[in-house]
Amino acid sequence: MQILDGQATSQAIKDALKLRVAQLILEGRRAPHLVAILVGNNGASETYVGAKVKACSEIGYKSTLIRLDEETSEHKLLSVIGELNDDLSVDGILVQLPLPKHISDEKVINAISASKDVDGFHPISIGRMVQGLSSFTPATPYGIMLLLEHYKIDTKGMHAVVLGRSNIVGRPISILLSSNTNPGNCTVTVCHSHTKNIKEFCLEADIIVAALGRPGFVTADMVKEGAIIIDVGITRVADAGKKSGFSIKGDVDFTNVSPKCAYITPVPKGVGPMTIAALMKNTLKAYLENN
Ligand code: GUN
């Protein structure tokens, strides 16, 4: 069994981006600029956005964090996005999800200029990705593909079972894994809350991508010997032993599943850091295409 080390792989990608930015600066160009918008006080969102801003500073990107309070109107948020769309000094815009209930995710995602959509959530980005055209790929699925690529895992012809069909992870990773790319070229089954016999599908899987947000859902009796396990779960579970009062749990019972696998991502330090590396790659792509 080999651990797919998302932390080290993410660092390697960030190191390469840092060199690239240093080169741009030497050429007299400005640094790429990512703007993150955080609405409200969701603790997990604070952590994720903090990690994104920190990665920018490590690499040498400029970042701006716009904090808006929980009561911010949808109209106000849309007008902030409009200004950023028109601002030539801004390359990438991301609005951290989830948003407060009174704001429509759909309207907000649609309002971001497709050329600055570094999250890859805009219908134009998704449509281009589905068609196999150059696009911004949503960061978590993109990070998973980068991790498989880094470890030179040949997924051609494999049966991949994706657990979850969210717009952020399950749906897009199912598209990417079935694409005519390397990694890719898998036969993909998408399982969701109405799937009967999830265990039987999982037992047939060469790759399982678990993205349901249910801690420990994938148990050893659901996994074939030699399978590749990608754990996207990041649920906060109360833990009195931790200073923060919680620990982060994946969707996979790592202790019992890992001995059966060929490869497995840990939680933390698996897919999470890869999401950040993928966002940083998308930010450079936006910069290079718009400048
Ligand atoms: N919430 C959970 N994942 C993501 C992500 O990749 N981007 C944004 N903007 N919000 C998220």
Torsion over CA of 171, 211, 122 and 117, rounded to 10 degrees?
Answer: -140
Q: Give CA–CA dist 182/64, Å, rounded.
A: 35
Give the rounded distance of the alpha carbon of 209 from its chain centre.
13
Residue type at 164?
G
Instruction: Determine whether the shortest distance from the Cβ of 96 to ligand 1 is under 6 A.
Output: yes
Q: Give CA–CA dist 201/101, Å, rounded.
A: 35
Residues 84 and 177 in one domain: no
Q: Give CA–CA dist 261/219, Å, rounded.
A: 12
Residues 70 and 174 in one domain: no
First to last CA, the chain: 44
Q: Ligand 1 centre from 53 Cα, in Å?
A: 14
Q: Give CA–CA dist 160/221, Å, rounded.
A: 17
Residues 106 and 170 in one domain: no
Which one, of 122, 141, 91, 98, lies nearest residue 274 by Cα?
141
228: CATH: 3.40.50.720
Give the largest Cα separation in the chain, rounded: 58
Q: Ligand 1 centre from 192 Cα, in Å?
A: 20
Instruction: Determine whether the shortest distance from the Cβ of 97 to ligand 1 is under 6 A.
Output: yes
Kindly state whether residue 264 falls inside one of the protein's structural domains.
yes
Whether residue 152 lies in the annotated active site: no
Range of the domain at 48: 29-113
Residues 98 and 146 in one domain: no
Last residue of a domain, one of 98, 113, 128: 113
pTM over 0.75, yes/no: yes
What are the pLDDT digits (tens) for 149-197?
A: 999 999 999 999 999 999 999 999 999 999 999 999 999 999 999 999 9
What are the pLDDT digits (tens) for 243-255?
A: 999 999 999 999 9
Q: How many domains does the chain have?
A: 2
Residues 109 and 145 in one domain: no
Residues 78 and 167 in one domain: no
